[in-house]
Structure 1
Amino acid sequence: MLEGCKTAQERWGGVHVIIDRWLAQRRQLLELGVYLRERGEFTPTDTPKIQSFCELLVDYVSVGHFTVYEQLAIEAKEFRDDAAVVLLRELLPQIDSTTEIAIEFNDKYDTKEHCNEQLEALPFSLQALAVVMAERFEYEDQLIKELHEAHSEKNA
């Protein structure tokens, strides 16, 4: 995606833009998640919001795996940062396990039919997902801090 950039500033600034957009997506996910968790009891009229949450969740997870982590790995290799590569190897399996749980949540609530069949369980599912996603956010924040911010400082 960013390989064709001519200067280091274009390259690493591009990564910064990707991360900023991704973190804005995270904020949207969190806001909708908090809104849903505060609802308490759900009715079929809540289904569109729940489906929107599922879409945001899958989009967020996908951008992480197929864009952000990939760019961070490229950055680590280009800076010859062996410690960063090791950190990626350590954290990505832990992040992957949270991805599985996010996808399971999506599969459980992604359609109107699925959602309406399981509305009673939704508060518990949201709480469990919130715990897992908080863990994921910590891993992701560590990756950003240790990889991208460190490389941005080297580039400056």
Structure 2
Amino acid sequence: MLESCKTAQERWGGVHVIIDRWLEQRRQLIEMWVYLRDRGEFTPTDTPKILSVCEMLVDYVSAGHFTVYEQLALEAKEFDDDGASELLRNLLPLIDSSTEVAIEFNDKYDTKEHCNAQLEALPFSLQALTLVMVDRFQYEDQLIKELHEAHSEKSA
């Protein structure tokens, strides 16, 4: 996708747009979590919001793995940045473990039937997912800061 860009600024500016969109997805996901967290008790009328969170969560996690991390790895390789490559090797396994938790949450609440059958457990599931995702967001922010921002300065 971005490989056809002619200049470094064109290419890595495109990565910046991808990251911005992805971080906007994160913001929307967090807003939905806060909404659900503040609900307290859940009823079947909450199911559409819960299903929406599942969809947003899977979209966010997928965009990270199949777009953002991939582009950050390409940047590290292109800039011959061994430190960035090492950071990726260290943080991606930690991020992967949160992906498993996110997928388990999605599998538990991804349909109306699944969701309605487990509404009582939802506050606990949301809390567990939130704890894991907070760590993930910190790892992702570290990747962006130490990889993309450093390379953006070099390409400017």
Category of TM-score, reference length = shorter chain: over 0.9
Q: Which residue of 1 aligns with 2:100?
A: 100
1:86 shift after superposition: 0.3
Q: Which residue of 2 aligns with 1:23?
A: 23
| Cα deviation digits, residues 112-137 of structure 1 (max 9, x gap) | 00000000000010011110000000
Question: What CA distance in whole angstroms lies between the structure 1 residues aligned with 2:40 and 2:90?
Answer: 37
Secondary structure (helix, strand or coil) at the match of 2:3 reads coil
State how many pairs are aligned. 156
Q: Which residue of 1 aligns with 2:116?
A: 116
1:42 shift after superposition: 0.3
- In the alignment, structure 1 segments of 5+ residues that lack a partner are none
Alignment of structure 1 residues 48-63 onto 2, 5 Å? 48-63=48-63
1:24 shift after superposition: 0.2
Question: What TM-score comes out, normalization by structure 1 length?
Answer: 0.99
Letter in 2 for 1:114: H
Q: Which residue of 2 aligns with 1:34?
A: 34
- In the alignment, structure 2 segments of 5+ residues that lack a partner are none
1:109 shift after superposition: 0.3
| Cα deviation digits, residues 50-76 of structure 1 (max 9, x gap) | 000000000000000000000000000
For the aligned residue pairs, the C-alpha RMSD in angstroms reads 0.4
Alignment of structure 1 residues 55-94 onto 2, 5 Å? 55-94=55-94
Q: Between the two proteins, what is the percent identity of the paired residues?
A: 83
Question: What CA distance in whole angstroms lies between the structure 1 residues aligned with 2:145 and 2:4?
Answer: 25
Question: What CA distance in whole angstroms lies between the structure 1 residues aligned with 2:51 and 2:60?
Answer: 14
